[in-house]
Chains A and B, each alone.
Chain A
Amino acid sequence: MPDGATPVLDVKNLKTVFATRSGEVHAVNSVSFDLRPGELLGVVGESGSGKSVTMMSLLGLLPSPPAEVRSGTVMLGGRDILKIGAEELRNVRGREVGFVFQDPMTSLNPVFTVGFQLCEPLRKHLGMSKAQARNRAVELLELVGIPDARRRLGDYPHQFSGGMRQRVMIAIALACDPKVLIADEPTTALDVTIQAQILELVKELRQKLGMAIIWITHDLGVIAGIADRVMVMYGGQVAEHGPVREVFANPAHPYTRALLQTMPKMHGARDAKLRVIEGQPPMLTRHPTACPFMARCAHAFDRCGRENPARRDIGHAHDVACHWDHTTAAPLTAAEASA
């Protein structure tokens, strides 16, 4: 991973709020992260932690109302894409950023052939002729490992298996050679042996095409296998972030630590009892003035209820949003806290 390179994507203080009957939902609360050329950033967190809303906000994919991107900047290619017009944004989505969502059945249009869905962006964004687009479409399907690609251009999505549909979605996302690929839980609906095929494919494509990737999942194992850096989200915020080995070896946030401990292992002695994180994820209906993990945190103390912790650097490009110091297993000292 090229360290210090100018990020291809730089997100600062993104805040997204939904208006609902029971008040505002603070789905994304001051999320900042960047993505460097050629790297794979893994995003983990349980359902409702804000992973999808973060990515949809920055691509302008949320219906407004009820969604409102209340603040933040998203720098891509030298401009803030939260401030550009609808037409230019559509171009960004087609050409500069490719994306793949969780369920390929709902994201592929069932009434059009796979060939049509692949050729359309090529003709629209790259101005290719029909024949050029078809040739490129065949190349793309071959790239993602679909056998007999030319013949399959005429097939409809339902004629493909789940794993193949996911490959087609990836091929469409790659069509215009984007600088950034955002994949939102793309293997969640797949079986493990099929998931393994897709993860191999992504590793291979990264090497071949050198693009930067954001990979969203709730599976820490997937992140461990493919990511360079990981961002752990909880309650609409970034709880912890850093190089993947560093975060797994020295998890600093009580949520990350607990999550790693609740997962049963595939090797070694079995635990008599699984460790649990008691309680439920937060509702996000109030503006968070306390730590969102407080109700479930084994280390919570009075300050956690008064002050939502900001992210602080803990060395090795690793940061955490927590008032508790995992190295001393005690609250931060007053000096550290004010620093």
Chain B
Amino acid sequence: MTETPMTDRRKLVEVRDLKMHFPILGGILRRQVGAVKAVDGISFDIFEGETLGVVGESGCGKSTAGRAVLRLYEATAGSIRIDGEDIATLPAEVLRKKRPAMQMVFQDPQASLNPRMTVAGIIGEPLDEHTNWDRKKKLARIYELMDAVGLNRDFANRYPHAFSGGQRQRIGIARALALNPRFIVCDEPIAALDVSIQAQVVNLLEELQDQFGLTYMFISHDLSMVRHIADRVAVMYLGKIVELAPVSRLYDHPLHPYTEALLSAVPEPDPSLERRKDRIVLKGDVPSPANPPKGCNFCTRCPKVMDICREQEPETVEAVPGHFVACHLISHPQTAGRTGGTEAEHNQMKTQQGEVA
């Protein structure tokens, strides 16, 4: 939870220019007529033992990014290094040996568990696949995992339907832990759970992280939960990372107009704060990733859009050490100044840089 200077940490995951385009087939010949650019050139690192939160709205490419990083999809382009090795190009057999180290926990605990397998069978499945342990040793490990995630051992022979959502998510987490992974992609692990159960699962994930030194990529659209669990946060919009920063900087000094709008839209469970708040209400809907707008992909909804934004894609710059943002307001403050209305950001940038120096 504490923000150690990043230079002291070892990078466990390094992703560069990752693209995942899904072909759109059309016509009688089912030829490719276009592509859904679900993930369109993202780069980020995840340091050992940290939690990188990934936020953004439905369809912006969070799950696709998570799956591509684990090579559950064959990426269209880019490199993915996990523990120094480029897994995007590893041959299947070598990749299989690496699989135990990287796992995934899914959103819908109901759909991701085989209804015809017992809890012990589900948790033990990765052991069957990747070890040649005998039954006794496997069962001991299954019990150990059930203890770790707070499931009663007596439930080992029950089927998933007999469990609540929170318990099913614990089963999914136990299975993900079976082979002592180092890196886990958690894709909306609490989205299907009730508020009162979400906190139980998040606490469990944090305890397990401390206990086993796990590294998480935590995908969620719940900005307040991400603020709680993440060390750094990446904000995605339409297949791209628009901003990435340590959690406190991102929430207290967002630089990208989309991040500002997203944070301001979160309802505050305190009526006095809630009504005082200046909410930025964005107009319109998210464009289709099959046909993203020219220039900055946020230009169709951005309250601060300038002429340059409709022409040129903003590049990602490190505005302040560790704080990355892709917006012309930041990368071309002069241009922004000329079109007016951005004096405030300009000054804000200066003071922020001052703070860090």
Chain A positions within 8 Å of B, measured between CB atoms, are 46-47, 161-164, 191-197, 199-200, 218-225, 244-245, 248, 258-260, 262-267, 270-278, 280-281
Contacts of B266 in A (CB 8 A): 192, 221, 266
A280 to B169, CA, bound (A): 14
For the complex with contacts A266-B224, A270-B228, 9 further pairs of A-B residues with Cβ separation under 8 Å are A162-B58, A163-B285, A194-B57, A196-B282, A244-B271, A262-B195, A263-B195, A264-B225, A266-B251
Contacts of A200 in B (CB 8 A): 279, 281
Contact A191 B58 (CB under 8 A): yes
Interface string of B53-65 (1 = CB under 8 A from A): 0000110000000
Contact B199 A262 (CB under 8 A): yes
Contact A193 B261 (CB under 8 A): yes
Q: Which of A46, A161, A276, A280 contacts B285 (CB 8 A)?
A: A161
Chain A residue with minimal CB distance to B228?
A264
Contact A266 B223 (CB under 8 A): yes
Interface-side segment among B38-46, B138-146, B200-208, B319-327: B200-208
Contact A274 B268 (CB under 8 A): no
Contact B265 A224 (CB under 8 A): no
A149 to B221, CA, bound (A): 31
Chain A residue with minimal CB distance to B167?
A280
Contacts of A281 in B (CB 8 A): 194, 196
Contact A224 B274 (CB under 8 A): yes
Chain B residue with minimal CB distance to A220?
B269
Contact B199 A276 (CB under 8 A): yes
A218 to B190, CA, bound (A): 14
Contacts of B275 in A (CB 8 A): 225
A264 to B285, CA, bound (A): 28
| Any A CB within 8 A of the CB of B227 | yes
Contact A245 B227 (CB under 8 A): no
Q: How far is the CB of B98 from chain A (nearest CB, A)?
A: 33
Contact A248 B271 (CB under 8 A): yes
Contacts of B274 in A (CB 8 A): 221, 224-225
Q: How far is the CB of A260 from chain B (nearest CB, A)?
A: 6
Contact B262 A276 (CB under 8 A): no
Contact A222 B267 (CB under 8 A): yes
Contact B194 A218 (CB under 8 A): yes
Q: A275-B199, A280-B164 are in contact. Are A192 and B265 (CB under 8 A)?
A: yes
Contacts of A47 in B (CB 8 A): 194
Contacts of A46 in B (CB 8 A): 194-196
| Any A CB within 8 A of the CB of B272 | yes
**Chain B interface: which size bin?**
35 or more
Q: A192-B57, A197-B282 are in contact. Are A221 and B221 (CB under 8 A)?
A: no
Contact A224 B261 (CB under 8 A): no
Contact A259 B282 (CB under 8 A): no
A210 to B273, CA, bound (A): 25
Q: How far is the CB of B252 from chain A (nearest CB, A)?
A: 9
Q: How far is the CB of B158 from chain A (nearest CB, A)?
A: 15
Q: Which of A161, A264, A280 contacts B227 (CB 8 A)?
A: A264
Chain A residue with minimal CB distance to B164?
A280
Contact B228 A191 (CB under 8 A): no
A265 to B223, CA, bound (A): 9
Contact A266 B202 (CB under 8 A): no
Please report which residues of chain B, range 249-273, place their CB below 8 angstroms from some CB of chain A when the two chains form the complex: 251, 261-273
Contact A264 B261 (CB under 8 A): no
Q: Which of B57, B164, B272 contacts A245 (CB 8 A)?
A: B272
Q: How far is the CB of B51 from chain A (nearest CB, A)?
A: 12
Chain A residue with minimal CB distance to B194?
A46
Contacts of A197 in B (CB 8 A): 281-283
A118 to B267, CA, bound (A): 31
Contacts of A196 in B (CB 8 A): 264-265, 279, 281-282
| Any A CB within 8 A of the CB of B1 | yes
Q: How far is the CB of B154 from chain A (nearest CB, A)?
A: 16
| Any A CB within 8 A of the CB of B289 | no
| Any A CB within 8 A of the CB of B124 | no
Q: Which of B164, B203, B225, B269 contacts A224 (CB 8 A)?
A: B269
Q: Which of B167, B261, B268, B285 contacts A221 (CB 8 A)?
A: B268
Q: A245-B272, A263-B224, A277-B196 are in contact. Are A219 and B267 (CB under 8 A)?
A: yes
Chain B residue with minimal CB distance to A280?
B164
Contact B196 A260 (CB under 8 A): no
| Any A CB within 8 A of the CB of B166 | yes
Contacts of B261 in A (CB 8 A): 193
Contacts of A260 in B (CB 8 A): 269
A310 to B38, CA, bound (A): 53
Q: Which of A192, A277, A278 contacts B262 (CB 8 A)?
A: A192
B57, B270, B271, B279 — most chain A CB neighbours (10 Å):
B271
